[in-house]
């Protein structure tokens, strides 16, 4: 009987179809904090200048397993002197299967860093506070917009004679 229903029972494992996405592991891969001008910088007056840099790396671990790393570097200067430099590389192992290359690339470039960002942001905040500085509330990041910009940059590279295989996969930050 091919029309038999399972009456609420789970389908066999090999019957699973369609895309799959799992978060296997989240972890801090690297962390650093420097306050090179402490304690003198605590007496400085003025408006701090904050610069934030993001970077993302993707590494294929197995056919359906990827490590995605999101790096955040936050540099605070005050009156031309570095008050602090906080760096966090938050990483995760993600399982992605049953996807075409375009969907896979989008998931690695949007969904994975969106999951990692709150953890990286919290770690940066803890470092800054532990370093004796006022907290820096990090704003949400639009990874959809960053990914769209990455696609535009890839298209421009392809227009200059490069191949898609040479373009960096899912590097949107």
Note the pLDDT tens digit of each residue in 37-87: 999 999 999 999 999 999 999 999 999 999 999 999 999 999 999 999 999
Q: What is the pLDDT of residue 66?
A: 98
Structure tokens at 101: 């290359």
Measured distance CA(68)–CA(56) in Å, rounded: 7
Span 99-112, average pLDDT: 96
Interatomic CA distance for residues 120 and 88, integer angstroms:
6
pTM of the model: 0.80
β-bridge partners, 67? 59, 93
Q: How confident is the model at residue 7 (pLDDT cuts 50, 70, 90)?
A: low
Exposed (0-12), middle (13-18) or buried (19+): which is 143, by Cβ within 10 Å? buried
């Amino acid at each position: 009987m091919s029309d038999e229903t399972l009456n609420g029972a789970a389908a066999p494992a090999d019957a699973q179809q369609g895309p799959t996405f799992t978060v296997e592991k989240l972890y801090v891969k690297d962390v650093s904090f420097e306050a090179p001008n402490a304690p003198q910088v605590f007496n400085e007056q003025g408006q701090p200048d904050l610069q934030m840099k993001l970077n993302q790396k993707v590494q294929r671990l197995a056919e359906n397993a990827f490590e995605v790393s999101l790096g955040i570097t936050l540099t605070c200067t005050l009156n031309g002197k570095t008050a602090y430099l906080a760096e966090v590389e938050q990483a995760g192992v993600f399982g992605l299967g049953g996807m075409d290359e375009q969907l896979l690339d989008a998931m690695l470039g949007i969904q994975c860093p969106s999951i990692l960002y709150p953890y990286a942001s919290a770690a940066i905040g803890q470092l800054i506070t532990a370093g004796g500085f006022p907290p820096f509330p990090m704003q949400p990041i639009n990874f959809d917009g960053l990914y769209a910009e990455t696609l535009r940059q890839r298209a421009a590279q392809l227009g200059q004679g490069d191949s898609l295989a040479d373009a960096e996969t899912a590097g949107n930050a």
